[in-house]
């Protein structure tokens, strides 16, 4: 059973996939499976052109749910689409976008869209077409009109003369974004993410194995909930979260200086320190490249200043959440060390975890112990890092008595 195998972020959610006749339709079964892996129940509507390119039986197999190719007196477009949690048009052709923008409902999928919009349901459009079609001013006007109505878009990848379907993970993340709680509107959030590289010379450096995934998912979740997000990230391969303000840094001193300058000049309601910067920097970095003929090289490391210790000094009103990572220690010792570090930095919430082979760094899932100022403990995980970010932000929202915005 694959449902919920990656997370429960879409648990209990009903998602309708509305398929147009674009050639990238072959990727839709994989999108459906990923939605299910995050807990969703998926139903499919297909246009006549879509059925020419992809057998409805494949979507029935991929989803385990109903596939609607014709409508009957049971008014499936009303009964199914107006009660779904979200409708996703994928791939959305220029023709389908034009029909939706102008209220034309002459296919099962456009009827589904009209019913969903009339019922106030979230709608997401995932375009794919030739680049010249995507740039056509009439198509652009239709896209703008739909955006003005509050309909979401997942931007295509424009290359090789094509506006190609966005990556599957981006589509799924966008669905998760659309259905996230909306309780952080107006809040300003600062997040640090990833490792730092402390260069020995121009070609060699010391680092930590942080991938930046935790910071990415915290940023994505906060953005989805309505916050303004500033992301200070070391060298990572993760894509930037849509609409985040991103500052890219390399070394630990650069990360420290960037964060301290930001919190000194701006007001942040919340700071989340997920980065794993090296605790030291290299003294007397070699210019150029060290000779490979050297038999021995001695490197001196200097302790770096700590963002987690100093941030509250510069921004006392910022609610601070920070991580403490340890390796191969008992839970009692982990909690003891975390509480000591939290006290030194005046943290509001501490996230304690052990890292190592297959744990924490570079993994999709993690588990943490959440500690508040009174040492009250709550264990989270193991769970998907976005799910973990959601739970931690839920705790933050509860502590600060922030009310959800409906609609």
Domains of the chain: which residue ranges? 14-178, 188-399
Per-residue pLDDT tens digits for 300-321: 999 999 999 999 999 999 999 9
Per-residue pLDDT tens digits for 6-22: 999 999 999 999 999 99
Confidence of residue 357 (pLDDT cuts 50, 70, 90): low
Look up residue 11 and give its two tokens.
Answer: 């648990």
Fold agreement (14-178, 188-399): yes
- Please report the sign of the dihedral spanned by the C-alpha atoms of residue 137, residue 141, residue 142, residue 146: positive
Confidence of residue 363 (pLDDT cuts 50, 70, 90): confident
Per-residue pLDDT tens digits for 204-255: 999 999 999 999 999 999 999 999 999 999 999 999 999 999 999 999 999 9
The confidence score (pLDDT) of residue 359 equals: 64
Kindly report which listed range (169-173, 335-339, 399-403) carries the lowest average pLDDT score.
399-403
Percentage above 70 pLDDT, the chain:
98
The confidence score (pLDDT) of residue 404 equals: 55
The confidence score (pLDDT) of residue 382 equals: 92
Kindly report which listed range (28-32, 74-78, 233-237) carries the lowest average pLDDT score.
74-78
Homologous superfamily (CATH) of 14-178 is Flavin prenyltransferase-like (3.40.50.1950)
Give the residue-averaged pLDDT of 123-136: 97
Look up residue 276 and give its two tokens.
Answer: 């794993």
Homologous superfamily (CATH) of 188-399 is CoaB-like (3.40.50.10300)
Q: Are 16 and 84 in contact (CB under 8 A)?
A: yes
The confidence score (pLDDT) of residue 407 equals: 37
Strand (E) or helix (H) holding 150: none
Q: How far apart, in whole angstroms, are the C-alpha atoms of residue 167 and residue 175?
A: 13
Rounded mean pLDDT of the chain?
94
Reduce the secondary structure of 80-95 to three states and give it as a string: CCCCCCEEEEEEECHH
The confidence score (pLDDT) of residue 403 equals: 61
CA atoms lying within 13 Å on the CB side of residue 222: 30
Q: Are 289 and 199 in contact (CB under 8 A)?
A: no
Confidence of residue 375 (pLDDT cuts 50, 70, 90): confident
The residues, any chain, with a CB within 8 Å of residue 303's CB and separated by 6 or more, are 279, 280
Give the residue-averaged pLDDT of 337-363: 88
In the chain, what's the furthest Cα-to-Cα distance?
A: 83
Q: How far apart, in whole angstroms, are the C-alpha atoms of residue 187 and residue 227?
A: 5
pLDDT at 406 over 60: no
Instruction: Using the structure block, give the residue that is written with the tokens 């220029």.
Output: 94
């Amino acid at each position: 059973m694959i449902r919920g195998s990656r997370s429960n972020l879409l648990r209990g959610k009903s998602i309708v996939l509305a398929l147009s006749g674009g050639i990238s339709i072959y990727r839709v079964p994989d999108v459906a499976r990923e939605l299910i892996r995050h807990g969703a129940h998926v139903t499919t509507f297909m246009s006549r052109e879509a059925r020419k390119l992809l057998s409805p039986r494949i979507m029935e197999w991929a989803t385990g749910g109903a596939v609607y190719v014709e409508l009957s007196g049971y008014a499936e477009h009303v009964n199914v689409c107006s009660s779904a949690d979200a409708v996703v048009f994928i791939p959305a052709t220029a023709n389908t976008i034009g029909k939706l923008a102008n209220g034309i409902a002459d296919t099962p999928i456009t009827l589904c869209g009209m019913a969903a919009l009339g019922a106030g349901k979230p709608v997401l459009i995932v375009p794919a077409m030739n680049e010249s079609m995507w740039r056509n001013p009439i198509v652009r006007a239709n896209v703008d009109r739909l955006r003005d109505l509050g309909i979401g878009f997942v931007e295509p990848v424009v290359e090789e003369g094509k506006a190609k379907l966005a990556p599957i993970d981006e589509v799924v993340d966008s669905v998760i974004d659309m259905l996230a709680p909306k309780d952080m509107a107006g809040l300003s959030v600062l997040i640090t993410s990833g490792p730092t590289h402390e260069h020995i010379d121009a070609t060699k450096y010391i680092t930590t194995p942080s991938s930046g995934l935790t910071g990415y998912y915290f940023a994505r979740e906060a953005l989805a909930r309505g916050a303004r997000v500033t992301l200070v990230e070391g060298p990572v391969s993760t894509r930037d979260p849509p609409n985040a303000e991103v500052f890219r840094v390399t070394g630990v001193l650069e990360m420290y200086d960037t964060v301290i300058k930001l919190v000194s000049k701006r007001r942040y309601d919340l700071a989340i320190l997920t980065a794993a910067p090296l605790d030291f920097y290299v003294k007397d970095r070699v210019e150029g490249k060290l000779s490979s003929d050297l038999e021995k090289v001695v490197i001196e490391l200097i302790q770096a200043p700590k963002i987690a210790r100093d941030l509250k000094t510069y921004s006392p009103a910022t609610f601070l959440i920070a991580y403490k990572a340890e390796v191969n220690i008992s839970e009692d010792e982990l909690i003891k060390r975390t509480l000591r570090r939290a006290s030194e930095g005046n943290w509001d919430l501490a996230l304690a975890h052990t890292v190592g082979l297959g744990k924490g760094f570079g993994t999709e899932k993690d588990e943490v112990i959440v500690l508040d100022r009174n040492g009250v403990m709550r264990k989270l995980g193991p769970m998907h890092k976005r799910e973990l970010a959601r739970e931690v932000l839920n705790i933050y929202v509860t502590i600060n008595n922030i009310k959800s915005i409906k609609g």
